[in-house]
Chain A
Amino acid sequence: MVSVIIIRNTYGGDLYLRKGCFYVTNHLRAYAPGGHGVDYTDAYACYDDMVAVKRYYSKTSDNPLLHIVVSYDYGVKDIETASELGRRCARYFDSRYQNVFCTHEADHECSFFHTHIIVNSVSYKDGKLISSWYGYMQQFCQFVAYVTNQKPYLTLKNKANDFED
């Protein structure tokens, strides 16, 4: 079973986006960081790239980002496989949203590895805000199931996350 956690912090603001970018690009912990439409090798540049899109569409004060954590079950035994799965899961958002991701090694209830995906809430295509409603996230879960070949379990969290595992 693959766990998909969607964390929504509508009022996190600028600081929440900054923390997210720093957390995912932290070279001390992040394995195989990657991204779409952002400089994922530099936390400051990653943040600037996302904010630039928000400013272009005059949507700097809306929900800053969508934070997704994909935790693979014990069947995924090495971080290389986990990071490749995470990279493919993040591709789901590429057609409309900038995103940055990395994989961590951490022993959770049912997994050795998990991938963090930070998605800019404002689309670079047309400025529309990303939807985190249940139906849309279920579609993402089905994509994750296709990529990982594991049954997905979706959890939606509305409280703030300080990017600690």
Chain B
Amino acid sequence: MRSEQEKKTSQKSVKMTQQEAEIIQQKANEKGVSFGRYMVDSAVKGDSNGNNPELMVEITDIANMAVEIATQKDRRGIAELKRRVRTLWSRL
């Protein structure tokens, strides 16, 4: 069951021009989310330094590949590589 903090219980009504609505709807369609969800995500997460889960997944996979290669040949640099990935996650 979802916690009280994560339940979507707040509702707002906003006004915008027809053109603004069309732009937002198009962007929401491109991301595969609803109109309202796109607006909320843009406002709440829009300034997250460009980090998002998709980017983090990609970076993590690259790091995993680097570790696999490194463990087969040379262990130097592995710790630093992993530290940099952890720092990125903490900024999410």
Which residues of A approach B to under 8 Å, CB–CB? 11, 35-42, 45, 48-49, 52-53, 55-62, 98, 124-126
B residues within 8 A CB of A52?
53, 56, 89, 92
Instruction: Give min CB distance, A8 to chain B, whole Å.
Output: 15
- Is B33 close to A, CB under 8 A? yes
Q: State whether A45 touches B86 (Cβ < 8 A).
A: yes
Chain A's closest residue to B45 (CB) is: A56
Instruction: Given A39-B82, A124-B53, A126-B32, answer yes or no on A61-B89 (Cβ-Cβ < 8 Å).
Output: no
- Nearest CB of B to A92, in Å: 16
B63 within 8 Å of A (CB atoms)? yes
B64 touching A35, Cβ below 8 Å: yes
Docked Cα-Cα span, A60 to B1, in Å, equals 10
Check B63–A53 contact: CB distance below 8 A: no
**B61–A36 contact, CB under 8 A?**
yes
B31 engages A126 (CB within 8 Å): yes
Does any Cβ of A come within 8 Å of B85's Cβ? yes
The verdict on B24 contacting chain A, using a C-beta distance below 8 Å, is no
Query: Which of A48, A61, A126 makes the CB contact (< 8 A) with B3?
Result: A61
With A39-B64, A39-B85, A53-B53 as given contacts, are A61 and B32 in contact (CB-CB < 8 Å)? no
Question: In the bound complex, do residue A56 and residue B53 qualify as a contact, i.e. CB atoms below 8 Å apart?
Answer: yes
Tell me the bound Cα distance from A109 to B54 in angstroms.
Answer: 40
A125-B53, A126-B32 known; 14 new pairs, CB 8 Å cut-off, are: A11-B1, A35-B64, A36-B61, A37-B56, A39-B82, A41-B64, A41-B67, A42-B82, A45-B86, A57-B53, A59-B6, A61-B6, A124-B54, A124-B56
